[in-house]
Amino acid sequence: MLKQRLFFFDNYTIRGYSISEVVVMKKRDLPIELQVERKPLVAKEREEKERMVNRLKRIEGQVRGIQKMIDDDRYCVDILVQLSAANAALKKVGFTLLEQHTKGCVASAITKGEGNEAIAELMKVIDQFSKS
C-alpha cells in the first residue's frame, strides 16, 4: 500500500483569491522524501534568496497572465509560448538551487565525511529534476 503525504499551501492565490489547499500526493509521485524538519547545511545568501523569490514572483505573474489569456480565449500558440517561457523560468530557478545545494550542502557534507549519503541524495534529485 502506498503511503500518502499531505502538503499544505497557505495563502496560495489563484485569480486573486486567497485559499488554503490540501494536496494529497502519493509517495510514488515524488520518489524523494521531503525533509521538512531538515535545515540546509549551508545557509543561502540573503541576496541570492531575494533573487530567487523575486524570480518566483515574476513567474507567478506570468502564470496569472497565462490564466487571463485562457479566460480571454487568446490564440493557443501564444498561450503555449507563454507556458514554455514560464516553464523555462522555473527550470532556471531549479538549476540555481541545484547549483547552490551542490556547492554548499553537498560540499559541506563531503568535508564532514558524510559525502556518500549527500551524493546519493543529490543523484536522486538530479534524476527527478531531469524528468520534469
Quickly count: other Cβ atoms within 10 Å of residue 18's Cβ: 9
- Overall pTM surpassing 0.75 (yes/no): no
Q: Is 91 within a domain?
A: yes
Residues of the domain holding 63: 45-131
| Greatest Cα pair distance in the chain | 57
List pLDDT tens digits, range 15-64. 333 333 323 333 345 456 655 556 665 666 788 889 999 999 999 999 99
Query: In the predicted model, is pLDDT for residue 94 greater than 80?
Result: yes
Number of domains in the chain: 1
Quickly count: other Cβ atoms within 10 Å of residue 109's Cβ: 19
- φ/ψ region of 16 (left if φ > 0, alpha if ψ in -120 to 50, else beta) reads left
Q: Is 84 within a domain?
A: yes
Which CATH number fits the domain that encloses residue 91?
1.20.58.1000
What is the C-alpha to C-alpha distance for residues 63 and 127, in angstroms, rounded to an integer?
26
